Structures are given as C-alpha cells and as structure tokens.
Amino acid sequence: MDKILVKYPKNWGLDSVKVENIGNKVLKKFNFSFKVELSIFFVGRKKAKDLNIKYRKMDYVPQVLGFPNSRDKDPDGWVRLGDVVICTDKLKEEAKLVSNKNRSMYKILEEWIEHGVDNLLK
C-alpha cells in the first residue's frame, strides 16, 4: 500500500482520515507498479500565494501547487513523488460555489489531488 502524508494547520476543518483515503484512491488511479509516498499539505491563502510567487512568479492564490521530488526508487524501495499543496480556503470556497451541483468538498479535493499528482509526473 502507498503512503499518504497529510500536513495541515490547526482548525483546518477537514477529516485527515478521509483525506488520506482520497490520496490512496487517487494514487490507485495512476496504477503505479511501485510503492509511492505522497505528501499533501494544506495551507492558508497567504502561504499559498507566497509559495506561488516564490516558485512560479505568479501573484495570486492558487488552488493547487505541486512540488515534484523523484520518480526513482530510494534504497528502501519507495518512490517519493513529492508534495501537493492545497489552499484550504480556496477548497472551501469552491465547495460553497458548487454545493447545489452534487459535488462535495471531498469530491473537489479528490479532483485537485489528482491534478496535483498529474503535475508531479510531468
């Protein structure tokens, strides 16, 4: 089974077990033939914007950022893909906007994590 590492601030408002399960579900979609470790970080608006400015030279609050690590196996046999950074505030805003369209916050999160992993692989 793959490893999902979840890092979040206090009072973030999500269930870390659900997030971990979503991360595992997303990794299964990619059908890796090796053990994968993925870190998912949840940050606020300021941190998301600061990261976007620093690493992408873009001055706005992004929904998702990806920071690739490696596609090679470490000596322990794991491939540590990298970090997917999610702006929690943007996630909650999106969930409010689409609440009448049968898309829960966790479904949106799944789409965003999948997008982030896809970016890690490019």
Q: What is the total count of domains within the chain?
A: 1
Q: Report the SS3 class of residue 39.
A: strand
Tens-digit pLDDT profile for residues 31-56: 998 999 999 999 999 999 999 999 99
Give the model's pLDDT for residue 100. 62
Task: Note whether 81 and 69 are within 8 A (CB).
Answer: yes
Task: Note whether 79 and 53 are within 8 A (CB).
Answer: no
| Residues of the chain predicted below pLDDT 50 | none
- Prediction pTM value: 0.92
What CATH number is given to the structural domain containing 17?
Answer: 3.40.390.30
Whole-number mean pLDDT of the chain? 93
Residue 26 CA from chain centroid, whole number: 10
Cα–Cα dist 122/105, whole Å: 26
Domain that holds residue 11: 3-120
Give the model's pLDDT for residue 33. 86
- Please name the residue that has the structure tokens 């196996």: 73
Give the model's pLDDT for residue 10. 85
Write the Ramachandran bin of 57: left for phi over 0, alpha for psi from -120 to 50, otherwise beta.
Answer: left
